[in-house]
Structure 1
């Protein structure tokens, strides 16, 4: 709740007559959970922040990625202000010029700034012509830190999916079709035969993302590099093909198409086994934002109970009231927002109107929308303070059975009541294919249920 900061009246460069926010430092940290949390508890401020992003675009020419005290910081991955804007759109925030937002996001996707270390995207020509960001990319249009080819490919893919989402909502069908197709580019760096070993011992899993040269041949990055089991990868001192996390961690970061990813990994059981290995082998770093969603991805394989079980391995083990009770730093509120959502029993998929449902940490929670004045109620039946009952048995929403393992933002704006019945064993709730979270499928060109 400290950053971004309201600097209205403190901007010497321009005055648009609207609230001015700064210290988006950095959106790569904040777009996943912090901005979605602000959308729930302070949507008025979130609207002002979105409008400030668009105001910066109008005056500086680009949506910022890491902007603090009127200055740009390093772009860490994709153009993730795109995700913040689209998350606000799908959750029906008002008072925002959505056509302007679409224009700004399309510029990120199509126009490369001369120095793309600060905003926008690099390698736009390769992105168009090769459908991936190459290892050691030759970029005649601009310059920047020429690394992170894997993580940028993954993030650009999701950025384009978010662009497509906004275009579709605004009725721009041809724009939607173009960018939803480009959102599949992540598949082009999947190397089906790639293996991974830890200290010479094979992990037993085959198929990982790998860097690829411009000529289509494969490069190599050890899948455990940049993890806690290897050396840390910073943007400047140790640039690698993934940013601040390993291939093992980034392999799960395809928020729009988990069903396709599960298929590439060999099916649901293999996917669950990978998640389990990732979280129990020392490869997962809960202090790093890309790991947040991996705690909950069991939902997409029909095992939502395992998401709650995994969450309880991190809260309170890594998040507690001791001197060491915050892993790393809070990254502008990211860690705190992750814990808040975990305790609410929800996790947002930013850029989509999707909250994954897990077991709340409280017997009852009320959240009143500052916009509508309506109060969402989350109640647990079978709650116990020892947290032995962490598996959802069934859910009722407004007195009716709710079989889906996810719910939309209307829970908050319309003041729904969600009752969660807990028990000490996994149940069949949320396991059916039709009850799993939405996942876009290229073969049907729709965001279908897995």
Structure 2
């Protein structure tokens, strides 16, 4: 379901890659679980209460089936996976075919069996053997009270007389601190139950129907069925974070009839309605491009997940969303895209963020499973809130609370900036940057990422200034705008671009002629040093994570030196002018320094606009789509977090948002025409259309990628950017494209804005 709680899917034993359960490789299937986070990186998340289905047990005895995760794992049938919105199916080499669909809080599975079939015997935990074995057809289904990350610390399970299995567990989040409880209620239809019981590891018991003190990693309950008359067993799984009773009530209310086709059709209809707000000209773009685009829109709508009514932590009439995973990833493209295609959901998410602030004292930068997630950079909920304010995503939003919340981020130290708020606020306020040797006495957290947090804090403060101005706090506006230039205080004019020589430790040589980069700075004003390339794809990319000793997070000084979206006029001057910025951006993308699998690189594809070269932005969109964003198994360059999908969708539309500003940068769209929803309703869409320049070819030809001229609602339009007004009121943006880069959008008055208080540079000595 879009933004729904129940997300059934297969889980695999792929090591280090199964954060959302399923992986398209040759790893083994270990079960089918019902709660997942979509596309996250890091440790596996959720994956609670997996079902596993044996088509039968050797000797027709439950004692001979395998129950533990390692013992029960089985290979998937090659090329058997089928997926569409609201439905997934896969075949297993033990002859089971699993199909699944969902409602908001419940999953419905159909497990079908091929009777009396001889197949190759799976060899769990190793390569398959070629010895044929007879597969019996009296199925056994188990529920394991475990999660993907094996984080359970307590739990229990019970088999009721009706055959219903209920259970609960206490689990840990994958990228945060704390614990959460989850509850399950499973019912089955299609065959009589011949035996039932519980298991611990590979040791089942029939006489015992309840287990509370779970000591084994794999432990749960099982049902052994007679042969199903229709060769199919249906499993309905209700879920809750409140109680077993609520899990059962959710299932009974949402799937009362076990009608798989009805539930599947209903889910497909909901998805069709959700995606129908966008229309694409069917005669432009390849089938692959269509798939990339619609898949991107679909994935954008998977998280954050709507857990309203399932919050065990506090009572509130406000919506509750979870799996903000993480706002550092999602603020740049996903939330701006939701603002266009589902503004009501985006408003509810903002309200949920504010309710978290009311009850927990701080806005999250990351949150999952009712737990506080680790803060990766700045306080980027500030950007989401400012973006919503600027674009009138206001339904039910309390802007007074919103302003109070962002002020708290900016000026009140949290107990731990590991999981909320900002660290090193004293250094930020006193020095105008996060000093690399400053130790926060008011808040605990890692003494790291001083460069990347500085540039993010500067932009966060710019967004707070925007909100202050809109709400009438003029003094605050000026104060936060002054702070928004603080990124400049880490600019080292003399820093050269140096290449690490791995075969000669401690030695470096000049890599390019580019001079001037962000660098760490000490409290006494002297600069420290981090190699400009460290944490880029070719230079120790994996040493700049959360607890890094480096000054940048998941990216190099090369990358972070571009991050001044509020102050690009100053950045242009610092690097030597517009042409020099364009050269830097081209080198960044050509040289392998850029990694499109991480969200901070998104905006760099489009920052040529600020160098008066919007055509280069169009060029690089086409370099990355479809070379890195495509329909192959490797067609998403990094973990998705719903953000990769949003990037591809925006790139295809020809508009890319500068999140936190009322600015969309214009590139040549990838389709002939797109119709986007406006707030005025379906009769007044926002239309983005491209036409071919006379004599240069057709709009779909290779090389037709440069905007030659533009019209907005029939009038000539020379700016390389537009505001949200088009999405609010509707209208037509018509772009004439051709094969050569032109001077469209390159005049100084047509460049994207850089803001008044950020037009000067303060040197610190």
TM-score relative to the length of structure 1: 0.96
Q: 1:31-84 CA distances to partner (integer Å, 9 max, x unpaired)?
A: 000000000000000000000000000000000111011101110000000000
**Alignment pair present for 1:42 and 2:342:** yes
The separation in 1 between residues aligned to 2:546 and 2:470, in whole angstroms, is 39
The separation in 1 between residues aligned to 2:574 and 2:406, in whole angstroms, is 29
Return the match for 2:752 from 431, 437, 448: 437
Per the TM alignment, residue 6 of structure 1 is displaced from its structure 2 partner at its CA by 0.3
**Alignment pair present for 1:87 and 2:387:** yes
1:94-173 aligned at under 5 Å gives the runs 94-95=394-395, 96-173=397-474
Per the TM alignment, residue 17 of structure 1 is displaced from its structure 2 partner at its CA by 1.1
The separation in 2 between residues aligned to 1:178 and 1:12, in whole angstroms, is 39
Return the match for 2:673 from 353, 364, 375: 364
**Alignment pair present for 1:401 and 2:701:** no
Per the TM alignment, residue 413 of structure 1 is displaced from its structure 2 partner at its CA by 1.5
Per the TM alignment, residue 371 of structure 1 is displaced from its structure 2 partner at its CA by 6.2
Contact 1:295/1:311, CA 8 A, preserved across alignment: yes
1:206-225 aligned at under 5 Å gives the runs 206-225=515-534
The separation in 2 between residues aligned to 1:14 and 1:442, in whole angstroms, is 41
**Alignment pair present for 1:344 and 2:653:** yes
Match of 1:386 in 2: 701
Structure number with the higher strand fraction is 2
**Alignment pair present for 1:303 and 2:303:** no
Per the TM alignment, residue 330 of structure 1 is displaced from its structure 2 partner at its CA by 0.5
Match of 1:273 in 2: 583
**Alignment pair present for 1:19 and 2:357:** no
The separation in 2 between residues aligned to 1:414 and 1:98, in whole angstroms, is 23
SS at match of 2:726: helix
Contact 1:62/1:119, CA 8 A, preserved across alignment: yes
Contact 1:397/1:418, CA 8 A, preserved across alignment: yes
The separation in 1 between residues aligned to 2:545 and 2:524, in whole angstroms, is 25
The separation in 2 between residues aligned to 1:94 and 1:114, in whole angstroms, is 31
The separation in 1 between residues aligned to 2:576 and 2:615, in whole angstroms, is 21
SS at match of 1:341: helix
Per the TM alignment, residue 384 of structure 1 is displaced from its structure 2 partner at its CA by 2.7
**Alignment pair present for 1:328 and 2:619:** no
- Give the aligned length: 444
TM-score relative to the length of structure 2: 0.57
Contact 2:491/2:516, CA 8 A, preserved across alignment: yes
The separation in 2 between residues aligned to 1:253 and 1:356, in whole angstroms, is 16
The separation in 1 between residues aligned to 2:607 and 2:530, in whole angstroms, is 24
Match of 2:330 in 1: 30
Per the TM alignment, residue 138 of structure 1 is displaced from its structure 2 partner at its CA by 1.6
**Alignment pair present for 1:416 and 2:700:** no
Q: 1:378-429 CA distances to partner (integer Å, 9 max, x unpaired)?
A: 1110153233210001111111011100001111111111111000001111
The separation in 2 between residues aligned to 1:136 and 1:129, in whole angstroms, is 14
Return the match for 1:203 from 512, 523, 527: 512
Contact 1:228/1:283, CA 8 A, preserved across alignment: yes
Greater C-alpha Rg = 2
SS at match of 1:393: strand
SS at match of 2:735: strand
Per the TM alignment, residue 372 of structure 1 is displaced from its structure 2 partner at its CA by 3.7
The separation in 2 between residues aligned to 1:321 and 1:206, in whole angstroms, is 39
Per the TM alignment, residue 202 of structure 1 is displaced from its structure 2 partner at its CA by 2.6
The runs of 5 or more residues in structure 1 that have no matched partner are 446-450
Per the TM alignment, residue 237 of structure 1 is displaced from its structure 2 partner at its CA by 5.7
Contact 1:42/1:370, CA 8 A, preserved across alignment: no
Per the TM alignment, residue 321 of structure 1 is displaced from its structure 2 partner at its CA by 0.7
Q: 1:349-386 CA distances to partner (integer Å, 9 max, x unpaired)?
A: 00000000000000111112366443111111015323
Task: Detail structure 1 runs of 4+ shifted over 4 Å in the superposition.
Answer: none
Match of 1:448 in 2: none
SS at match of 2:377: coil
The separation in 2 between residues aligned to 1:233 and 1:137, in whole angstroms, is 21
Match of 1:258 in 2: 568
The separation in 2 between residues aligned to 1:444 and 1:328, in whole angstroms, is 35
The separation in 2 between residues aligned to 1:244 and 1:48, in whole angstroms, is 30
Per the TM alignment, residue 98 of structure 1 is displaced from its structure 2 partner at its CA by 1.3
Contact 1:226/1:244, CA 8 A, preserved across alignment: yes
Between the two structures, name the one with larger relative contact order (CA 8 Å, sep ≥ 6). Answer: 1
